[in-house]
């Protein structure tokens, strides 16, 4: 019988191939740190993911074991390495007009609103969602009213990419051709294969770092809609409840809160009631 490929080594052997020491205690400490820092819950099966994502940071610090890396973080609560640590353990899965049924609902909602329209995207990631919101508002309002979109995220690397507003044509080409022509600038020469959000769209969107479990949020005023999609799944129920309670004062009385397709807020908060498919409004 012909043996299997060398890459199919059992996990016990694979562990010995690692160049960094990573113990059960190290994993437990990292789980505790990211929970306290960002509210993110890491299940037991995330251990390999943690090693893969943080190994580069450990090496960058000139260290050979995760325990020393965690010690260094804990010694300096103001270290810039905390951002790199958090960024590495943050998951960014997004695309333009993801969960597309929400955007016509937003368009209908703001069409009947008065005054300046404000929308907050609380998990902006690399920008696709905030820009999708801005495009929706430009199409719905047709220049008749002013609007602004605030995109916040804890991942500073993702926010830097969002502010650039540059995406591969593979990402952009999934949109209708008319939207691509109207809202993107196609690159040429060395920039061929990429597209940039047009300045008139980018001017309506601002980005800011925000940790949803921090004591203070750098957010003021009320919004016509808040997008909090596919972020609550990374928190435990106690954290979810606390965040929803803090969303409520930032939503206008008739405002909409958009959740992800696998999220349900009704059973964990008395502040919101279900209005449509993963769309909520205040329960006042």
Model confidence pLDDT, tens digit, residues 32-72: 999 999 999 999 999 999 999 999 999 999 999 999 999 99
Q: Work out the angle between the directed axes of helices 24-38 and 47-60 (0-180°, nearest 10).
A: 90
Q: Is the pLDDT at 13 greater than 60, yes or no?
A: no
Q: pLDDT grade, residue 17 (50/70/90)?
A: low
DSSP assignment, residue 165? T
Among all residues, which ones are annotated catalytic?
A: 53, 153
More confident call, 10 vs 80: 80
Q: Average of pLDDT values for 113-129? A: 94
What's the rounded mean pLDDT across residues 223-227?
98
**Contacts by 263-268 with C-beta closer than 8 Å and gap 24+?**
263/229, 263/230, 263/232, 263/233, 265/232, 265/240, 268/237, 268/240, 268/241, 268/244
pLDDT in tens, 87-102: 999 988 899 999 999 9
Continuous segment of H or E residues that includes residue 275: strand 272-276
pLDDT (tens digit per residue) in 131-173 = 999 999 999 998 778 999 999 999 999 999 999 999 999 999 8
> Which of 121 and 266 is assigned the larger pLDDT?
121
Say what angle helices 81-88 and 66-75 make with each other, to 10 degrees. Answer: 130
pTM: 0.88
DSSP per-residue letters across 96-111: TTSSTTHHHHHHHHHH
């Amino acid at each position: 019988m012909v043996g299997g490929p060398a890459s199919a080594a059992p996990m016990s052997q694979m562990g010995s191939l690692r160049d960094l020491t990573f113990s059960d205690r190290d994993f437990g400490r990292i789980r505790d740190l990211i929970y306290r820092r960002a509210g993110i819950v890491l299940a037991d099966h995330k251990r390999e993911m943690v090693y893969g994502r943080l190994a580069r940071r450990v090496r960058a610090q000139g260290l050979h074991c995760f325990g020393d890396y965690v010690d260094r973080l804990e010694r300096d609560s103001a270290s810039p390495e905390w951002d790199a640590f958090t960024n590495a353990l943050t998951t960014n899965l997004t695309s333009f007009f993801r969960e597309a049924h929400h955007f016509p609902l937003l368009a209908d909602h703001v069409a009947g609103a008065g005054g300046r329209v404000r929308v907050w995207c609380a998990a902006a990631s690399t920008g696709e969602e905030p820009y999708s919101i801005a495009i929706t508002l430009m199409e719905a309002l047709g220049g008749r009213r002013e609007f602004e979109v605030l995109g916040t995220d804890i991942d500073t690397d993702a926010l830097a990419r969002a502010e650039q507003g540059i995406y591969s044509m593979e990402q952009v080409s999934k949109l209708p051709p008319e939207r691509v022509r109207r809202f993107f600038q196609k690159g040429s020469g060395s920039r061929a294969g990429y597209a940039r959000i047009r300045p008139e769209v980018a001017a309506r969107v601002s980005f800011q770092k925000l940790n949803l479990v921090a004591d203070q949020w750098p957010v003021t005023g009320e919004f016509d809609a808040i997008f909090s999609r596919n972020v609550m799944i990374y928190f435990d129920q106690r954290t979810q409840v606390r965040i929803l309670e803090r969303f409520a004062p930032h939503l206008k009385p008739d405002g909409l809160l958009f959740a992800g397709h696998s999220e349900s807020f009704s059973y964990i908060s008395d502040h919101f009631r279900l209005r449509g498919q993963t769309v909520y409004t205040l329960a006042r």
